């Protein structure tokens, strides 16, 4: 075989291997696990109480398109939506969330309009998908906050044991961030990162309390801040708080079990009229069409919806017991 041809084949093979290696390293640098981990930590830091005032962090969080980012920054209290999405753990930006909301509204309204339904039904078909999407995000947020509440006692015990073993408080925070379960590990690791960036401990803990909507976590933050001013055995204090939170969670679980029947009844009574109206619409549309074609029917529906809203609010107030 010709030596020149063989050398050409070897060099071509090496060039292809190096090209693939370069593509992999480029992808890993921008979209790999380490890059995603850094991006999540930067997003967590950017959602605090403006402790980190860096435009680059906000640009990464709000939108990747500069024009869209500038428009979003004009919205009042856009950081509240930032924090809401961060607490939900959905991993999407404000621009993506708003885009999905608008697409759902346009799609629902267009389907209802093409079906020849009245204007009121078209508006409802446009609004309901958006409400469902926002409700899904809220449900994800509540589930994540509940998970953090459940993981908090174990995290406090880990901090207390680490301090008893001779670790500093900041080292104990890092231990929870690296050894603890998600999602609470991400929050404590963000506090450790903020302290390393030069933010005072009290401000970093305040950012933690603002990011996580948990009264139990605020107990921990207040206890640490008071101990820094007055002194005392912080490990023992954290152990007492952990025991108190566990007892409170047991009581909350017992109350939820006792109020489960009331919650199920509230769900059934809230959804039953809408399910029946939808079923009658498919079975005999002319029979129910007078509710939105006749003026008297429109007034009846308006009064019924107002009374139902009042009844739903009252039922949920009765079954929602705060401890």
The total of other beta-carbon atoms located within 10 Å of residue 39's CB is 15
Do 190 and 41 form a contact (C-beta atoms < 8 A)? yes
**Per-residue pLDDT at 50:** 42
Which two tokens mark 51? 């402790």
Q: pLDDT digits over 122-170, tens only?
A: 888 888 888 999 989 899 888 888 888 889 998 899 988 888 888 888 8
Q: pLDDT digits over 213-256, tens only?
A: 888 888 888 888 888 888 778 888 888 888 888 888 888 888 87
Which two tokens mark 34? 């380490």
What are the residue ranges spanned by the domains of the chain?
159-257, 260-323
Do 319 and 263 form a contact (C-beta atoms < 8 A)? yes
Buried b (16+ CB within 10 A) or exposed e, 155-187: bbbbbbebbeeeeebeebbbbbbeebeeebbbb
Which two tokens mark 183? 């999602």
Token look-up 């930006």 returns: 93
With H, G, I as helix, E, B as strand and everything else as coil, classify residue 112.
Answer: helix
Which two tokens mark 36? 């995603």
Quick one: how many helices (H) and strands (E) in the chain?
16, 0
The mean predicted confidence, pLDDT, of the chain is 78
Residues 6+ apart with CB under 8 A from 231: none
The CATH number of domain 159-257 is 1.25.10: no
């Amino acid at each position: 075989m010709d030596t020149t041809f063989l050398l050409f084949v070897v060099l071509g093979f090496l060039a292809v291997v190096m090209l693939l290696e370069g593509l992999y390293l480029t992808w890993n640098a921008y979209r790999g696990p380490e890059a995603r981990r850094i991006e999540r930590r930067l997003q967590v830091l950017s959602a605090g109480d403006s402790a980190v005032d860096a435009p680059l962090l906000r640009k990464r969080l709000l939108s990747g398109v500069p024009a869209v980012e500038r428009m979003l920054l004009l919205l009042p209290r856009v950081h509240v939506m930032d924090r809401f999405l961060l607490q939900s753990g959905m991993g999407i930006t404000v621009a993506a969330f708003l885009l999905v909301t608008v697409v759902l509204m346009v799609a629902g309204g267009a389907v209802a309009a093409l079906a020849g339904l009245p204007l009121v039904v078209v508006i409802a078909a446009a609004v309901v998908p958006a409400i469902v999407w926002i409700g899904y995000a809220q449900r994800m947020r509540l589930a994540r906050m509940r998970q953090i509440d459940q993981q908090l006692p174990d995290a406090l015990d880990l901090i207390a044991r680490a301090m008893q073993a001779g670790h500093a408080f900041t080292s104990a925070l890092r231990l929870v961030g690296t050894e603890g379960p998600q999602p609470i590990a991400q929050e404590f690791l963000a506090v450790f990162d903020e302290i390393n960036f030069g933010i005072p401990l009290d401000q970093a803990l305040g950012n933690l309390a603002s990011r996580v909507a948990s009264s139990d976590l605020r107990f921990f933050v207040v206890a640490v801040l008071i101990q820094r001013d007055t002194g005392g055995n912080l490990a023992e204090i954290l152990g007492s708080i952990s025991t108190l939170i566990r007892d409170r969670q047991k009581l909350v679980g017992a109350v939820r079990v006792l109020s489960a029947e009331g919650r199920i009844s509230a769900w059934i009574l809230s959804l039953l009229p809408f399910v029946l109206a939808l079923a009658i619409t498919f079975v005999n549309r002319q029979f129910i069409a007078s509710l939105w074609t006749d003026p008297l029917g429109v007034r009846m529906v308006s009064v019924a919806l107002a009374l139902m809203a009042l009844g739903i609010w009252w039922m949920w107030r009765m079954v929602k017991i705060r401890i």
